[in-house]
Amino acid sequence: MPGNSPSLGLRGFSGGGCRHSLLTIVWTVVGFFLAAHLISLYTSKDDQQQQQQAPSHHLQQQLHPPPHPALRELVRVKEEILRLPPPRKRSPRTSKRRSRKPIPMVEEFLDDKSPIRHLFFPDMKTAAFGPTKDMGNDAFHYFPGRFGWTRKETQFKLTAEGFCTTRNLARTIGVGCYSSKDLWTWKNEGIVLGAEETNKTHDLHKSNVLERPKVIYNEKTGKYVMWMHIDDANYTKASVGVAISDHPTGPFEYLYSKRPHGFDSRDMTVFKDDDGVAYLFYSSEVNSVLHIGPLTEDYLDVTPVMKRVMVGQHREAPAIFKHENTYYMITSWCTGWAPNEALAHAAESIMGPWEKLGNPCVGGNKVSRLTTFFAQSTYVFPLPGVPGAFIFMADRWKPSDLRDSRYVWLPLVIGGPADQPLESSFGFPMWSRVSIYWHSKWHLP
Ligand code: GAL
């Protein structure tokens, strides 16, 4: 019936249209529910993942509480512009000391003849040990890089408990000591472990190297024990030395040197834990691995126990500290006297494994952050009364005149989430961030 076709067609069309619209509606509704279901599935999966990956805001707050209010000034990020002088021919000493990829500002830093040398090594006439007064300003401040030690002293202790940090003693004079009860006013206690003038075979002969001395107090024996890096002028002896005294201010009696656990040992430190057990940390296996081992009860030797950590990472200049049952460490890379990028590390157990947290330097400028503010870690100690706050101590080496090297002391604060994914993480960073804040001058809170 072709004549009916149009109407049929029409009917058919309109009848089929109805079915089609119905189908469309049904499918739209089904589609809507399906989509809603899928979205809800994804959202809850996301939520679950987020709960696994990132702690809730509340948990974040618990894990990473904001810094103590007393630190408000110290945790301000201070930028600093350093301008390069016009290009010129370098002194041969600087070119010899080129790092793998020279950074122009680091070349300036290493160049004795740099017209901006005074920015890194201000005139010693304005330098001193401890805080100094700014020109025309009555307030005392710590000026990183503007304080060092008198040319004879090489080390200081920080509290009556007697811990200390150091400096290189190539052409040894001895280990010097400064003391303070408030970390603000300092007394020069003089040389507490003197160099040997005549006996050329003695570890402390003035032709040898003594670096990085640290003193810890042993409650059981009532003695102050000094550990140090002992070397010959070519750095082939690679040993640790031990000295002992009844007083933190010496005189220290030198006992002996050895290769701990039979291994070479260069940059080193000791750390005394809350339970009284002390540990030796040393760069070993030609600085490629860090070794950690507990000391004997009297702190005069190592025990046979030793762990190799940061294997193949070439870290040195270790500085250890502890906060809320977590151990932290700052290390440098191995570039001799030239500065390089610091790394912060954390561990639940002092013997490791140690996790990398990233570069702790904040503020200054890109180059200073990549060079630990033109310095190298040496020691970190707690700021009394301010939990989570420390003083980071670093050596700003002056290779052309090591004894005119300077200290860079800056506030170090533990707080806030770590900003680098963890190597062996299980979802979210457990450790807090370690931040060293640049300040061209600062004072204690
Ligand atoms: C550095 C080390 C310093 C000193 C220097 C000698 O890598 O941290 O303490 O040993 O090498 O070149």
- Residue pLDDT, tens place only, 120-130: 888 765 555 55
What does the alpha-carbon distance between residue 10 and residue 22 come to, in Å, rounded to a whole number? 18
Give per-residue pLDDT as tens, 104-116: 899 999 998 999 9
Among 236, 245, 289, 293, residue whose Cα is nearest residue 269: 293
Q: Choose one of 166, 265, 266 to mutate for the ligand 1 pocket test, by most ligand atoms within 8 angstroms of C-beta.
A: 266
Look at phi and psi of residue 97 and say left if phi exceeds 0, alpha if psi is from -120 to 50, else beta: alpha
Q: Kindly give, in sequence order, each residue whose CB lies less than 8 Å from that of residue 297, ignoring residues fewer than 6 positions away.
A: 220
What does the alpha-carbon distance between residue 231 and residue 115 come to, in Å, rounded to a whole number? 35
What does the alpha-carbon distance between residue 296 and residue 278 come to, in Å, rounded to a whole number? 8
Length of the chain: 445
pLDDT band at 175 (very low <50, low <70, confident <90, very high): confident
Give the chain's domains with CATH numbers.
Answer: 100-437 (2.115.10.20)
Residue 343 Cβ contacting ligand 1 at under 6 Å: no
Distances from the Cα of 81 to the Cα of 78, 149, 198, 328, 374, angstroms: 10, 27, 49, 30, 14
pLDDT band at 183 (very low <50, low <70, confident <90, very high): confident
Kindly report the protein residue whose alpha carbon is nearest to atom 1 of ligand 1. 336
pLDDT band at 423 (very low <50, low <70, confident <90, very high): low
Q: Kindly give, in sequence order, each residue whose CB lies less than 8 Å from that of residue 385, ignoring residues fewer than 6 positions away.
A: 70
DSSP-based helix, strand, coil % in the chain, nearest 5: 20, 35, 45
Per-residue pLDDT at 57 exceeds 70 = no
pLDDT of residue 153: 34
H-run or E-run covering 60: helix 57-63
Residue 317 Cβ contacting ligand 1 at under 6 Å: yes
Residue 395 Cβ contacting ligand 1 at under 6 Å: no
